[in-house]
Amino acid sequence: MSQSAPDLSHHLSKEARERLPNPMKDIWRRVVSSGRLDVANMANGDPHYSLFPFKQLVFEVPSVTEAQDPVAEWRAGTCPTQSFRSYKDEDCALSLRNAFQYTHGAGLPQCQKVLKDLTDFFFAPPNHTVTLTLGNSDGITKLFRLLGDSGDYFLTDEFSFPGMTNAPLSCGIKWVGIKMDAGGIIPEEMEKILKNWDETKGRRPHVLYIVPVGQNPTGSTLSLERRQKIYCMAQKWDLLILEDDPYYFLQYDLPPAEKIPEVEGTYSQRFAKHLIPTILSLDVDGRVLRVDSFSKILAPGMRLGWITSNKLFHKKLVTYTDSGTQHPHGFGQAFITEMLGEKGWHLDGLCRWLQSLRLDYKRRRDFLLEMFRREVEPTGYATVNIPQGGMFVWMEVHFERHPHYRPGLRDATSSAVAPRTNIETLLLALFEKCMENDVVVMPSSIFSIPEDSMWIGNDNQHVPIRDRTKFFRATFAGTEENIEKGMVRFGRTLKDFFEQPMTVNL
Amino acid sequence: MSQSAPDLSHHLSKEARERLPNPMKDIWRRVVSSGRLDVANMANGDPHYSLFPFKQLVFEVPSVTEAQDPVAEWRAGTCPTQSFRSYKDEDCALSLRNAFQYTHGAGLPQCQKVLKDLTDFFFAPPNHTVTLTLGNSDGITKLFRLLGDSGDYFLTDEFSFPGMTNAPLSCGIKWVGIKMDAGGIIPEEMEKILKNWDETKGRRPHVLYIVPVGQNPTGSTLSLERRQKIYCMAQKWDLLILEDDPYYFLQYDLPPAEKIPEVEGTYSQRFAKHLIPTILSLDVDGRVLRVDSFSKILAPGMRLGWITSNKLFHKKLVTYTDSGTQHPHGFGQAFITEMLGEKGWHLDGLCRWLQSLRLDYKRRRDFLLEMFRREVEPTGYATVNIPQGGMFVWMEVHFERHPHYRPGLRDATSSAVAPRTNIETLLLALFEKCMENDVVVMPSSIFSIPEDSMWIGNDNQHVPIRDRTKFFRATFAGTEENIEKGMVRFGRTLKDFFEQPMTVNL
């Protein structure tokens, strides 16, 4: 944040503004900050660490420096291993005495520090603070509560992961989808919504929630140019940006870290060199709240991530965490601190794992695309975008070529924006056909943000999202066997669906 | 729940009623329940387990069967150890392939099963279901959201832990404190509140939140008779009971498990024999939601606990968890499943640890009481209750003996119930004196639920809580050295405070 950073406190929800901290923490803080050395503290009901039944934790993991391509060798069972150890009574990066005690909602200082260092190294945000979370789902839903009041509208990608976008609906928050193309949300479409907003009908959206790399479900990645435009617009319209970026380190079309001729220095510097700048890195105002996770790069069951934000939101997040989930578990904090510490992988080692992991996913992606080209494209009924990151491809089906395709439907009675075609019906019929043929792909209707005439306005050019919901999301996170089988069956199902339409039950 | 169990769905908050599940889960469920064996599932974005960088986790813990008094030996450093191991590729109670994958909000079936078995063994609730949580703070605050709407009043102990009771305030939920004596809340006082409730001023309370064993801060434990009365009243007034019971296994005045002559059978049967029945065990209607935790019996940093409830609330909790925190971390689920499994401590071993732990805390409690009798009681200015469980003593200070004590104050302008004495002022002055003298004890004013004339009514007999806030909470969770020092200083401070009143700054 610059010296002249704006006051953003008006973005806080009523709940966040009214939340009281635990008054006991003030007393504990007074004790700690008093500097007195011989205090008999009978105030805290913390079990004594000598009662924690853990002598040590051992995490046996791949030895990333001994392997050439650690992920490939790990999968083949040939990768040597190393162990990170956390002790209760011996020296280590984060003693189990602390890891297993109650602590601050932001996490233990040692773990917060290694994550802050990682954040500074990759994203270099000006004057931000790190708050630990229990993974991105926890982090994002906490941010929704922190910023949203009932009746608010939040902006997001018009195709979005419903596990997240459904979450704040029951708190009275509504979504406004921003039109997307292969490159993600279109900044000009966002500006149109903000400019034409009728404030008599509701507060203009003040929050934008996006997944900028390998977006779920479309697989799109926002270019630097779009990021800059979006950030400028956020400044102009006083938006906060929730940058949910679990796939950031899974960017595929970059030169390998080893072979970047213009970069000297450490492995991590070479690895970081060509990663796209995050929106957080552009943030001079403190209006970006970035949400990071280990779920996609280590394992989902880690349930540990972190939010990078300005100090105001950090403080409010901690107060919320202290009277909600509480701080993350000691197991994960011990693991992360050890993993990023001097005796662990350290940042360089993590980057070796990430480099190898992104190669692995790139191979999977390329394999899926190859199978698509072999099994699906020749039918002429579907095309695919090449995702630059993440785990998903977004396959477009050309329903307008289907014998049962009907343009020109219209339902003028609904306040929601009515479809004009039967594309959604065809989509769901094709989905059922796929299920019958033992291939499961996700229909785009599950991800589409419903439109409301309130914010679409009287734009006659506007094609309703239900007429554009002609996609399936497929993942390349699975095995090659699964991917090949899936594409063979998807291609065959498409052929049946388009060429034997009598068997389609609409 | 009996066959005729009442429908309790009207207790759900608006938010809980309106919460949408993730629609993708329906599709995943269809795939799983289809029974088809050769499905190419490209729908889930789950990283493949072969990419999880964990070969094994080792938890080195005390060997509870080799030790006579495992906790004492553990603290002395003489206890032998054993290791629980979780593997990705080898056989174990909960494979890391599953532990580190995304899973159901209720937790992994293996972990849910061992906790259900434990629950059935100790509490034998009729027809309840277990939902994992991230510890009691997470569990309780989730229940507050599940059941409370803005404007609701919840009942609780009149002295309560503000870390919990502050949590729902910002959602518009207000607390009504129930008068307590040394045995906890007084059932007749609860009935008085419910009977006299003026529904024109707000919905009659429909939730009771209590800590029935070693209550924080008063240390009180509800007798079986009170439990039965409270449960009957809950049936009569259609209350739900949130039974937050982290200290259940820390009950001190029971015969040791080894020496119960009338009990044959396993160690765990002997251990369980004299534990007081939980309120959950009395629950024929499904109106008790019990919240259990490992924080006080293993370590707070576990951040893993469970809620036992009827199926309706279980289902709603899972939907909330799926679109919030998500399921608990794999580390803890692996540990618990292994610990309670065939190769782990098993239930018998856990009971050996608990028996030894409660002996340790009993020794600490008795040591504090001994120090109190030696250092504080002789001053004549304070007395103490003997807590039957938990970690806290509640020390009553006889402020009416203080030269500056003033009865007869009254502030008729406030809608809150005004104090008549200056006890609260004296309490805080004494607290400051203690801080100056390097002993920290928690003043009861921090725990007291503010009273409102709305629900106290015109009862002239009622002594405002601010005139009864004459207690300090002290913990015996610390070391003997700390306890002794604390009691010496507390006694000396009391003497100074009462006998050199000129130095008291009021």
pLDDT tens digits for range A1-44: 445 789 999 999 999 999 988 888 888 888 888 888 899 999 98
- Find how far residue A451's CA is from the centre of its chain: 23
Query: Are B180 and B220 a contacting pair, CB within 8 Å?
Result: yes
Q: String of b and e for A9-44 (b: at least 16 CB within 10 Å)?
A: eebbbebbeebebbebbebbeebeeeeeeebbbbbb
Neighbouring C-beta atoms of residue B265, cutoff 10 Å: 9
Give residue B462's pLDDT.
Answer: 84
Q: Could you read off the pLDDT of A391-428 as tens digits, one per residue?
A: 999 999 999 999 999 987 665 555 567 788 999 999 99
Contact list in A for residue B15 (CB cut-off 8 A) is 170-171
Model confidence band, residue B45 (pLDDT cutoffs 50, 70, 90): confident
Q: Which sign does the torsion angle of CA B423, B428, B434, B436 carry?
A: negative
Arithmetic mean of pLDDT, B53-73:
96
Distance, CA of A19 to CA of B166 (rounded, Å): 8
Q: Could you read off the pLDDT of A174-207 as tens digits, one per residue?
A: 999 999 999 999 999 999 999 999 998 899 999 9
Exposure of B116 in the CB half-sphere (CA atoms within 13 A): 17
Nearest to A304 by CA among B326, B109, B57, B60: B326
Give CA separation, B441 vs A138, A371, B88, B358, in Å.
Answer: 34, 69, 47, 23
Distance, CA of A47 to CA of A52 (rounded, Å): 8
For chain B, say whether A424 makes contact (Cβ under 8 Å): no
Chain A stretch 332-351, residues whose beta carbon is closer than 8 A to a beta carbon of chain B = 332-333, 335
Q: Could you read off the pLDDT of A211-256 as tens digits, one per residue?
A: 999 999 999 999 999 999 999 999 999 999 999 999 999 999 988 8
Contact A162 B22 (CB under 8 A): yes
Enter the tokens of residue B116. Answer: 């259900």
Enter the tokens of residue B113. Answer: 């099963």
- All residues at 6 or more sequence positions from A196 whose CB lies less than 8 Å from its CB, including other chains: A455, A457
Distance, CA of B65 to CA of B268 (rounded, Å): 13
Q: Which residues pair with B175 in a beta bridge?
A: B154
Enter the tokens of residue A138. Answer: 């926890």
Give residue B461's pLDDT.
Answer: 77
Q: CA of A63: which chain B residue's CA is closest? A: B53
In this structure, what is the dihedral angle of CA atoms B211, B213, B215, B221, given to the nearest 10 degrees? 120
Q: Which residues pair with A286 in a beta bridge?
A: none
Enter the tokens of residue B103. Answer: 């899973």
- All residues at 6 or more sequence positions from A261 whose CB lies less than 8 Å from its CB, including other chains: none
Chain B stretch 293-312, residues whose beta carbon is closer than 8 A to a beta carbon of chain A = 295-296, 298-304
Contact list in A for residue B477 (CB cut-off 8 A) is 44-48
For chain B, say whether A50 makes contact (Cβ under 8 Å): yes
Give residue A410's pLDDT.
Answer: 60
Q: Which sign does the torsion angle of CA A193, A199, A202, A207 carry?
A: positive
Residue type, B433: K
Contact list in A for residue B27 (CB cut-off 8 A) is 440, 442, 446
Suggest the residue from A26, A42, A143, A337 to mutate for an interface test with chain B (most B CBs closer than 10 A).
A42
Arithmetic mean of pLDDT, A455-474:
86
Give residue B503's pLDDT.
Answer: 63
Contact B40 A438 (CB under 8 A): yes
Give residue B29's pLDDT.
Answer: 80
Query: Are B292 and B308 a contacting pair, CB within 8 Å?
Result: yes
Q: String of b and e for B210-226 (b: at least 16 CB within 10 Å)?
A: bbbbbbbbbbbbbeeeb
Model confidence band, residue A452 (pLDDT cutoffs 50, 70, 90): confident
Distance, CA of B253 to CA of B251 (rounded, Å): 6
Nearest to A430 by CA among A391, A379, A385: A379
Model confidence band, residue B75 (pLDDT cutoffs 50, 70, 90): very high
Arithmetic mean of pLDDT, B255-270:
86
Q: Could you read off the pLDDT of A318-357 as tens digits, one per residue?
A: 999 998 999 999 999 999 999 999 999 999 999 999 999 9
Residue A50 burial (C-beta neighbours within 10 Å; 0-12, 13-18, 19+): middle
- Find how far residue A67's CA is from the centre of its chain: 29
Contact list in B for residue A216 (CB cut-off 8 A) is 45
Q: CA of A393: which chain B residue's CA is closest? A: B42
Give residue A22's pLDDT.
Answer: 82
Q: CA of B61: which chain A residue's CA is closest? A: A54
Give the nearest partner residue to B440 out of A27, A134, A331, using CB atoms: A27
Give residue A145's pLDDT.
Answer: 97
Using omega within 30 degrees of 0 as the cis cutoff, is the peptide bond preceding B217 cis?
yes
Give residue B411's pLDDT.
Answer: 56
The H or E element that residue A17 is part of is helix A14-18
Model confidence band, residue B341 (pLDDT cutoffs 50, 70, 90): very high
Chains A and B form CB pairs within 8 A to the count of 338
For chain B, say whether A37 makes contact (Cβ under 8 Å): no
In three-state secondary structure terms, A390 is coil
Distance, CA of B141 to CA of A387 (rounded, Å): 40
Please indicate whether residue B410 or residue B7 has the higher confidence score (pLDDT): B7
For chain B, say whether A120 makes contact (Cβ under 8 Å): no
Distance, CA of B328 to CA of A329 (rounded, Å): 9
Give the nearest partner residue to B54 out of A54, A299, A323, using CB atoms: A299
Model confidence band, residue A455 (pLDDT cutoffs 50, 70, 90): confident
pLDDT of B366 higher than 90: yes
Contact list in B for residue A48 (CB cut-off 8 A) is 477-479
Q: CA of B333: which chain A residue's CA is closest? A: A301
Give the nearest partner residue to B440 out of A39, A353, A486, using CB atoms: A39
Query: Are A333 and A99 a contacting pair, CB within 8 Å?
Result: yes
Contact A58 B58 (CB under 8 A): yes
Give the nearest partner residue to A303 out of B52, B163, B329, using CB atoms: B329
- All residues at 6 or more sequence positions from A163 whose CB lies less than 8 Å from its CB, including other chains: A137, B22, B24, B322, B323
Arithmetic mean of pLDDT, A150-157:
97
Give residue B1's pLDDT.
Answer: 45
Give residue B30's pLDDT.
Answer: 83
Chain B stretch 57-76, residues whose beta carbon is closer than 8 A to a beta carbon of chain A = 57-62, 71, 74-75
Query: Are B301 and A101 a contacting pair, CB within 8 Å?
Result: yes
Neighbouring C-beta atoms of residue A436, cutoff 10 Å: 12
Query: 3-state DSSP: chain A helix, strand, coil percent, rounded to 5?
Result: 40, 15, 40
Give the nearest partner residue to B40 out of A299, A326, A485, using CB atoms: A485
Q: CA of B75: which chain A residue's CA is closest? A: A50
Distance, CA of B120 to CA of B110 (rounded, Å): 15
Q: Which residues pair with A133 in a beta bridge?
A: A305
Q: What are phi and psi of A221, to 5 degrees?
A: -125, 130
DSSP character for A378?
Answer: G
pLDDT of B244 higher than 50: yes
Model confidence band, residue B414 (pLDDT cutoffs 50, 70, 90): low
Q: String of b and e for A246-284 (b: at least 16 CB within 10 Å)?
A: bbbbbbbebeebeebeebeeebbbbbbeebbebbbbbbb
Model confidence band, residue B23 (pLDDT cutoffs 50, 70, 90): confident
Place of tokens 């193309």: A181
ipTM: 0.95
Q: Which residues pair with A240 in a beta bridge?
A: A207
